[in-house]
Chains A and B, each alone.
Chain A
Amino acid sequence: MNQQQALYKYCVGLGDDALIQSYRLSEWCRNAPILEEDLALTNFALDMTGRAQVLLSYAGKVEGAGRTDDDLAYRRAERQFYNHLIMELPNGDFAFTMARLLFTATYEYYFFTELKNSADHDLAAVAAKTVKEVKYHMAHATDWVLRLGDGTEESHNRMQKAVNELWMYTHELFATDPDVAMLRDGNIAVDLAVVKSAWLQFISRTLTEATLAVPADGYQQTGGAAGIHTEHMGHILSEMQYLQRAYPDATW
């Protein structure tokens, strides 16, 4: 893989994280426990769709094959999606969704804080905007993890279960590979070791304050960077890409 291909993959991966996460959050619209949460989660999904749009259209430019943001979102096959697996897991209950959002938004907050210093100006610009958005997502998820962790016995149990189930998907957020290392050398990509230590510190503190146990590290689930997904991913794409695939000549 040359530098251009590595950059394409890096941008697509970031775009796919936003796209697939927004898909999951938008499923809460009309299904949330209170109307205020319907609005908040829909709003986060909206931020993420916007972010996906910018990152995928930049990825298309880097690739140089004339593909647009929509081409990449709606006409790409599953094995060419590079999002982290944690983004595609089904929503589960409200505790599961909030635990995931805590994990992903905290990761994104520290990740994009670092990416602001990228030598790639397009990525640095996306990062500057994204930090402001995800800071809010992170605060929102933190509030809910505290409330549910330290709420009732039932909410505590649900939250602990969610944290435990998600833990094996969090390691992948910090996994690096030779392509990313190449971009690191050019000061384009983020140093994930820095992101990981900040993440772990914040998450440990938050879980503890929420009276929850920080899980022990065990088996680590990975695959996103190689385009090998969970079984859930194909169902997301078949729904999301339905109109573009069924009516390939149409514009919408």
Chain B
Amino acid sequence: MELVEKTDQAQAELLKNFEEKINRGDAIEPKDKMPDAYRKHLIRQISQHAHSEVIGMQPEGNWITRAPSLRAKQILLAKIQDEGGHGLYLYSAAETLGISRDEMIQLLHSGKAKYSSIFNYPTLTWADIGAVGWLVDGAAIVNQVSLQRTSYGPYSRAMVRICKEESFHQRQGYEIMAKMMQGTKEQREMAQDAMNRLWWPSLMMFGPHDSESPRTSDAMKWRIKRHSNDELRQKFIDKTVQQAEVIGLTVPDKDLKWNEAKGHYDHGPIDWDEFYRVVNGNGPCNKQRMDHHIRVHNEGAWVREAAEAYRKKKENLN
């Protein structure tokens, strides 16, 4: 009995120290003591972020062999390579919390870990590659800029590195859209069609409204998350609507209008039924994305085994 009380007291002390540290704005580092819930929240969030980078390689990879010019192919290859690199930093950041990349991949395959739902939408035309760079990376940047000041040191440092590359992706995506809007009638139609299909899913990337978002409070208290879903979404809308206007694209929202008093755009209702349907597994490409990742992982097993066997042989020799 006494022991339990002591442990409770120690726990309370730990939590108090931890929260003081957070409130001072100090970064939490891997060797620091941290509450279990904080560690779990981070593992879930960082691994989800890592998986998103990696699964996101599929819809973009879909156009590598069909990129329409040597320059376009180089830009796309470099972008996807960056995304895979982001996946690597983030897996490493999550590993500092005591989980291995293998375990994270197993959790993804069993459906326990998620990835961003936006990658469950298909890339159907070359304009989708533009729209993904401009809208999806554009939305990701807004979120990631905010996460540069997240409380966990390795995550925050990964975000700083990643943000530099994301802004290139966003500009290059926008350039594809701009070029198509200056092109032939067919190119303009393709660009507008991509905008129509990807606009709303991009807004959904920020997650449910603040009033509906169950995990926001702990994440905000512990400064994992620094801005709310709705704040970030608004920021994205405000900057993107203007960019669309410049190149002559129409935002597919009849309720969209500038609100002079608030200094922001008001937007129409988001289809949350669609959001939850896709998050819960029933989007256009959910099955395809997971099947692909599992198949490639399984097909590569013999390569990983051989590399391991070779490493051991060489180790025994030395």
Contacts and interface: CB of A to CB of B under 8 A. Distances in A.
Contacts, number: 129
A131 interface: no
A221 B141 CA distance: 51
B70 A53 contact: yes
A240 B61 contact: no
State which size class the interface on A falls in: 35 or more
A92 B94 CA distance: 34
A5 interface: no
Nearest to A41: B81
A34 B65 contact: no
B301 to A, nearest CB: 8
A36 B307 CA distance: 13
Interface string A23-53: 1001101111111101100110110011011
A80 interface: no
Contacts of A146: 310
Interface in B154-193: 176, 179-180, 183-184, 186-187
B303 A94 contact: yes
B54 A46 contact: no
Given A49-B77, A152-B309, A247-B184, A242 B54 contact: no
A251 B179 CA distance: 8
A252 B305 contact: no
Interface string B60-89: 010011101111111001101100110110
B261 interface: no
B57 A154 contact: no
Contact of B81 (A34, A46, A74): A46
B74 A243 contact: no
B68 A252 contact: yes
A164 interface: no
Given A148-B306, A155-B302, A32 B296 contact: yes
Contacts of A52: 70
A70 interface: yes
A22 to B, nearest CB: 8
Interface in B297-318: 299-307, 309-310, 313
Given A31-B296, A35-B84, A151 B310 contact: yes
Interface string A201-237: 0000000000000000000000000000000000010
Contacts of A236: 65
B20 to A, nearest CB: 38
Interface of A: 22-23, 26-27, 29-36, 38-39, 42-43, 45-46, 49-50, 52-53, 56, 69-70, 73-74, 94, 146-148, 150-152, 154-155, 158, 236, 239-240, 242-244, 247, 249-252
Interface of B: 54, 57-58, 61, 64-66, 68-74, 77-78, 80-81, 84-85, 87-88, 91, 126, 176, 179-180, 183-184, 186-187, 292, 296, 299-307, 309-310, 313
Given A154-B302, A250-B187, 10 more contacts: A23-B65, A30-B58, A30-B80, A30-B292, A38-B57, A94-B303, A151-B307, A236-B65, A239-B66, A240-B65
16 contacts: A22-B73, A30-B57, A33-B299, A34-B304, A46-B77, A46-B78, A49-B73, A49-B74, A49-B77, A52-B70, A56-B70, A148-B306, A158-B302, A243-B68, A247-B187, A249-B184
